[in-house]
Each structure stands twice: as C-alpha cells, then as structure tokens.
A = this chain, B = another copy of it.
Amino acid sequence: MSSLPLSQVLSLSNAQIAIEAAATLAFALSGLIEAARKRLDAVGVCVVAGLAAFGGGTLRDVLLDRRPFFWVQHAAWLWVLLALCVGAMFFMRTRHFALTERAMQWPDALGLGLFTAGGTQIAIDATMPPIVAVFMGMVTAVCGGVLRDIVCNEIPRAFSDHRPYALCAFAGAWLVVLAHELAMPQWLGLVAAAGCVTLLRALAMLTGWKLPAWRADSE
C-alpha cells in the first residue's frame, strides 16, 4: 500500500525472485532426498521433488488467483528440476550418498524461512489482511512439504511431529507484516523474517524443543 508501483517492480525483480529461486532449490533438494528414502521410481522422485519445490507457492497462487505461476513464467526452472533429479540419481547412486533424515533438515529449514518471507510479501502486495497474509506465508512454506507427505501416504510431519515447524513460519511471517505496517524497506523485512524463521527452526532442531501434546484423553 505504501509502496510505489516502480518499487514493487524493482523489489519483485530483485529480492523476491532471488528468494523464490533459492527456496525452490532448497525444497527440491529436500523432496528429492525424501523420495529417494521412500524408494520411489524415477518419475516419483521428479514429482515429489517438484511438489515439494513448487507445491506451496502454486497452492498460494491458486488461493490468491495469481497467474502466471512461478514455474510457468520461468519455465526454465522445470528443466533445472528435471536436470537436478536425473543428475542426483546418477550422482547419488555412484557415490553411495548417505540419505539420512538429518541431511534433509538443513535445506528444509532454509527453504522454510525463504518461502515464508516471500509468500507473506506476495499476499501483502495482493492487499490481503494481516492474518491472511501470515496464513499465505505459512501455506507457501509448509504446504510443499505437506503435499509431499500426502503423496507419500504419511500424516504430514508438519502437523504431527510435535516439533515447531509451521510455528516458526507463523512467528517469522509477522515480521514481514510488521515491516510493512511500519513502512520499513521491504528487503529488510524479508531478510529479517527469513533469517528469523531459519534460526528458530535450527534452534528447535538443535535443542529438541517439543510442542505440548494434547493430553485430554490420557491421565
């Protein structure tokens, strides 16, 4: 609202595109490792990697009625994804890469931060109310992984592993909203939010912090 059209165009072509690209790569990598652990076939690996990478942003764009999608406007990314998957399949097979749960968490945490910041900003630019913008940031960041887990026939880890994942995104997204309300430079809010989310998530993983479970039917 407080930004001129020109500054919007500039910010879109710089900070936001870079964020979207970095986050897409991070999530594709996390999806690829997950699919490999599940022993899916070549097609399944590409689909799960693509769903993790583009699923959250695409769902956000469908909800915001925003076209064209990131991967339609920058169709080269689909080629990058394909090349990444095929390359990884050959590289990982020859090198006996250790596909551990741990290896997946770091690109995942980075993608979580970057997608939250980018998604919230896009929803603010679409003049959504603050709580909806925060929700859209969470959708962007979390739903790629949720769709990945649904396709792999699991309860999405984001809702069931009792570790703060979406909650980190929730906290960080408010930073973007705050920066917008205080009319601070957009890049500042984006960097602060992405960094804060990634840091929170990393801390949560390192300290093993757990969300309280629902204890209604026990004790």
Mark the stretch among A111-119, A161-169, A174-182 that contacts chain B. A161-169
| Residues 169-219 of A contacting B (Cβ, < 8 Å) | 211-217, 219
CA–CA, A68 and B69, complex, Å: 19
Chain B hits for A135, CB < 8 A:
78
Q: Is the CB of B211 within 8 A of A41?
A: yes
Which of A156, A161, A215, A217 has most chain B Cβ within 10 Å? Answer: A217
Partner of A129, one of B40, B45, B72, B151: B72
Q: Is the CB of B40 within 8 A of A159?
A: yes
How many copies make up the complex? 3
**Is A15 in contact with chain B by the CB < 8 A criterion?**
no
Q: Is the CB of B58 within 8 A of A63?
A: yes
**Is A125 in contact with chain B by the CB < 8 A criterion?**
no
Minimum distance in angstroms from A3 CB to a CB of chain B: 21
CA–CA, A65 and B62, complex, Å: 9
Q: Is the CB of A92 within 8 A of B216?
A: yes
| Nearest-CB residue, chain B, relative to A74 | B129
Q: Is the CB of A155 within 8 A of B156?
A: no
Q: Is the CB of B160 within 8 A of A93?
A: no
